[in-house]
Amino acid sequence: MTIPEAAEVAGKKVLVVDDERFVRELIKIKLGRCGLVVMEATNGLEAIEMAQALRPDMILLDVMMPKMNGFEACEKLKSNPTTARIPIVMLTARGEQANHEKGISLGATDYMNKPFSPQKLAELVIEILKRP
C-alpha cells in the first residue's frame, strides 16, 4: 500500500473489537501508521456502546469474545439506525465457510480469517473506507 492511498482516509476512526490485547495492539500499530485513529473495545457490549457514542467510520469485530460474541454484536449494530451504516469486517480464527456466510448475512461488509497479514488487513480497511 502506498502512502497516497492511506492519505485519502487519514483521520478516519476505526473501532477494533477483540478480547486479545495483542491482536488489538497489532492492528492499532498498523492502522495508526496509515493515519487512522484507532479505538479499542474488548467485547461486543463495549463495541455497541462505543459505536453509538463515538460513531467510528468502520468496525473490525472479532467473532469469539466473552459477554457478547461478534455475531450478536454485528446483528445489534446493524439493527440500530445510529450504527447500521458503519462497515463491519468480521475477524475470526474459525475459518469455516458457514461462519463467513453468517457474518455477511448479519450485515458484515467483509470477513478476514486469523491469523491475518496486518498489511492485507490495512489494505482491506483502506479499500472499504474509500468507498462512497
CATH of the domain at 88: 3.40.50.2300
Residue 130 vs residues 23, 43, 58, 87, 123: alpha-carbon distances, Å? 24, 27, 11, 11, 11
pLDDT digits (tens, 9 = 90+) for 4-17: 578 889 999 999 99
Kindly state whether residue 3 falls inside one of the protein's structural domains. Answer: no
Peptide bond connecting 56 to the previous residue in cis, omega within 30 degrees of 0 = no
Q: Is 120 part of any domain?
A: yes
How many structural domains are present in the chain? Answer: 1
- Asked if residue 132 is part of any domain, the answer here is no
Residue 1 located in a structural domain: no
Q: Is the residue at 61 inside a domain? A: yes
Structural domain range at position 68 = 9-127
Statement: residue 1 has pLDDT above 60: no
- Our measurement of the distance from residue 40's CA atom to the centroid of its chain's CA atoms, rounded to an integer in Å, reads 10
Report the predicted TM-score, pTM, of the whole model to 2 decimal places.
0.94
Q: What is the pLDDT of residues 99-114, one digit of tens each?
A: 788 999 999 999 999 9
